[in-house]
Structure 1
Amino acid sequence: MTKPDGQLAFDELGTPLRATTFVVFDLETTGVSDEDTITEVGAVKIRGGEVVGEFATLVDPGRGIPPEVVTLTGITDAMVYAAPRLDAVLPAFLEFAEGAVLVAHNAGFDTNFMRKACLRHGYRWPRPTVVCTVQLARRVLTREEAPSCRLSALAELLHARTKPNHRALADARATVDVFHSLLERVGSVGVQSVEELLDYIPEVTPEQRRKRTMAAELPNEPGVYLFRGPGDEVLYVGTASDLKRRVRQYFTASETRRRLREMVALATRVDHVTCAHSLEAQVRELRLLSSHKPAYNRRSKNPKQAWWITLTDEAFPRLSLVRVPREVALGPFRSRGRAEDAMVALQDATGLRPCTVRIPAQRAHGRPCALAELDRCAAPCAGRQSVVEYSPAVGAFSSLVAGRRVEPLRRLEARLIAHAAAQRYEQAGLDRDRMRVLVRTLDRGQRLAALAAVPELIAARPDGTGGWEFAVVRHGRLASAGVARRGVRPMPVVDMLAASAETVLPEPGPLRGAPAEEVGVVLRWLDRPGTRMVRCSQPWTEPAMAAASWRGWLTRADAALDRLEVSR
Structure 2
Amino acid sequence: MTVRTTGPGFLQTGFDELGRLLSETTFVVVDLETTGGPPAEAGITEIGAVKVRGGEVLGEFQTLVRPPGTIPAYVQALTGITTRMVAGAPSPEQVLPSFLEFARGAVLVAHNASYDTGFLAAACRRVQLSWPAFEVVDTVALARRVVDRDEARNHRLGTLAALFGSATTPDHRALTDARATVDVLHALLGRLGNRGVHTVEDLRALTATVAPARREKRHLAVGLPSAPGVYQFRDAADRVLYVGTSVDVRRRVGSYFTAAETRARMTEMVRAATRVVPVVCETPLEARVREVRLIAEHEPPYNRRSRRPDRVVWLRLTDEAFPRLSITRSGPAGPGVGTHLGPFRSSARAELARAALHEAIPLRRCTRRLARRPRAGGEACVLLDLGRCGAPCLGADGGGQDAESYAGLVAATRAALAGAAEAPVRSALTRMRRLAEQERFEEAAEARDRLEAYLRAGERAERRAPLTGLAELVAARRSRPAPGWPQGGWELVLIRFGRLAGTTLTPRGADPMPYVRALQATGEVVAPGPPGTTLLEETDALLGWLEQPGTRLVETTGAEESPWTCPVRGAGWARAVALAAP
TM-score, normalised on structure 2?
Answer: 0.59
Change (3 A) 1:301 1:203: same
Which of 533, 540, 555 is 2:564 aligned to? 540
8 Å contact kept, 1:412–1:435: no
The one-letter code of the counterpart of 2:266 is: L
Q: Which residue of 1 aligns with 2:478?
A: 462
CA shift at 1:246, angstroms? 0.9
CA shift at 1:365, angstroms? 6.6
The one-letter code of the counterpart of 1:507 is: G
Deviates more, 1:548-557 or 1:268-277: 548-557
- In 2, the alpha carbon distance for the partners of 1:482 and 1:382 equals 67
The one-letter code of the counterpart of 2:540 is: G
Which of 500, 522, 541 is 1:478 aligned to? 500
Which of 336, 344, 349 is 1:338 aligned to? 349
8 Å contact kept, 2:495–2:501: yes
Change (3 A) 1:235 1:551: same
- In 2, the alpha carbon distance for the partners of 1:259 and 1:545 equals 44
SS in 2 for 1:40: coil
Q: Which residue of 1 aligns with 2:512?
A: 490
8 Å contact kept, 2:109–2:136: no
- In 1, the alpha carbon distance for the partners of 2:477 and 2:224 equals 26
CA shift at 1:516, angstroms? 2.1
Q: Which residue of 1 aligns with 2:423?
A: 408
SS in 2 for 1:469: strand
Change (3 A) 1:418 1:260: closer
Deviations 1:289-311, CA, capped at 9 Å, x for gaps:
12211121222411122221112
Q: Which residue of 1 aligns with 2:233?
A: 227
Q: Which residue of 1 aligns with 2:544?
A: 524
- In 2, the alpha carbon distance for the partners of 1:227 and 1:379 equals 61
8 Å contact kept, 1:311–1:318: yes
Q: Which residue of 1 aligns with 2:463?
A: 447
Q: Which residue of 2 aligns with 1:549?
A: 573
**Structure 2 residues not aligned, in runs of 5+:** 16-48, 60-93, 138-194, 369-380, 481-486
Higher relative contact order at CA 8 Å, sep ≥6: structure 1 or structure 2? Answer: 2
CA shift at 1:236, angstroms? 0.9
- In 1, the alpha carbon distance for the partners of 2:575 and 2:352 equals 19
Change (3 A) 1:121 1:422: closer
SS in 1 for 2:10: strand
- In 2, the alpha carbon distance for the partners of 1:471 and 1:290 equals 22
CA shift at 1:268, angstroms? 0.8
- In 1, the alpha carbon distance for the partners of 2:413 and 2:258 equals 54
Mapping for residues 90-101 of structure 1, pairs under 5 Å: none
The one-letter code of the counterpart of 1:332 is: P
CA shift at 1:541, angstroms? 0.5
- In 2, the alpha carbon distance for the partners of 1:412 and 1:200 equals 48
8 Å contact kept, 2:494–2:501: yes
Q: Which residue of 1 aligns with 2:534?
A: 514
- In 2, the alpha carbon distance for the partners of 1:67 and 1:224 equals 46
Q: Does 1:126 align with 2:126?
A: no
CA shift at 1:121, angstroms? 14
Q: Which residue of 1 aligns with 2:268?
A: 262
CA shift at 1:419, angstroms? 6.1
CA shift at 1:330, angstroms? 0.8
Larger gyration radius, structure 1 or structure 2: 1
Mapping for residues 421-436 of structure 1, pairs under 5 Å: 432-436=448-452
SS in 2 for 1:284: helix
CA shift at 1:211, angstroms? 3.0
**Structure 1 residues not aligned, in runs of 5+:** 1-28, 46-62, 76-84, 133-146, 152-174, 180-197, 561-568
Change (3 A) 1:529 1:271: same
Mapping for residues 49-68 of structure 1, pairs under 5 Å: none
8 Å contact kept, 2:362–2:390: no
Q: Does 1:399 align with 2:415?
A: yes
Q: Does 1:217 align with 2:223?
A: yes
Which of 505, 509, 522 is 1:500 aligned to? 522
Q: Does 1:385 align with 2:402?
A: yes
- In 1, the alpha carbon distance for the partners of 2:410 and 2:217 equals 60
Mapping for residues 160-171 of structure 1, pairs under 5 Å: none
Which of 288, 300, 304 is 1:298 aligned to? 304
- In 1, the alpha carbon distance for the partners of 2:429 and 2:4 equals 49
8 Å contact kept, 1:344–1:362: no
The one-letter code of the counterpart of 2:220 is: M
Change (3 A) 1:122 1:542: closer
Mapping for residues 358-369 of structure 1, pairs under 5 Å: 363=383, 366-367=386-387
Deviations 1:474-505, CA, capped at 9 Å, x for gaps:
22221212222324432222221222222222
The one-letter code of the counterpart of 1:241 is: V
8 Å contact kept, 1:225–1:243: yes
Q: Which residue of 1 aligns with 2:186?
A: none
Change (3 A) 1:462 1:365: farther
The one-letter code of the counterpart of 1:546 is: G
Deviates more, 1:545-554 or 1:491-500: 545-554
- In 2, the alpha carbon distance for the partners of 1:524 and 1:494 equals 21
The one-letter code of the counterpart of 2:506 is: A
8 Å contact kept, 2:394–2:401: no
8 Å contact kept, 2:470–2:497: yes
8 Å contact kept, 1:321–1:356: no
- In 2, the alpha carbon distance for the partners of 1:370 and 1:390 equals 8
CA shift at 1:66, angstroms? 10
Mapping for residues 151-166 of structure 1, pairs under 5 Å: none
CA shift at 1:445, angstroms? 2.1
Deviations 1:322-354, CA, capped at 9 Å, x for gaps:
123213211233332332232233235445434
Q: Which residue of 2 aligns with 1:23?
A: none
8 Å contact kept, 2:425–2:574: no
Which of 281, 290, 293 is 1:287 aligned to? 293
Q: What is the count of residue pairs matched by the alignment?
A: 419
Change (3 A) 1:37 1:494: farther
Change (3 A) 1:460 1:514: same
TM-score, normalised on structure 1?
Answer: 0.60
Deviates more, 1:347-356 or 1:422-431: 422-431
The one-letter code of the counterpart of 1:543 is: P
CA shift at 1:44, angstroms? 9.8
Change (3 A) 1:272 1:118: closer
- In 1, the alpha carbon distance for the partners of 2:437 and 2:50 equals 45
Deviates more, 1:285-294 or 1:487-496: 487-496
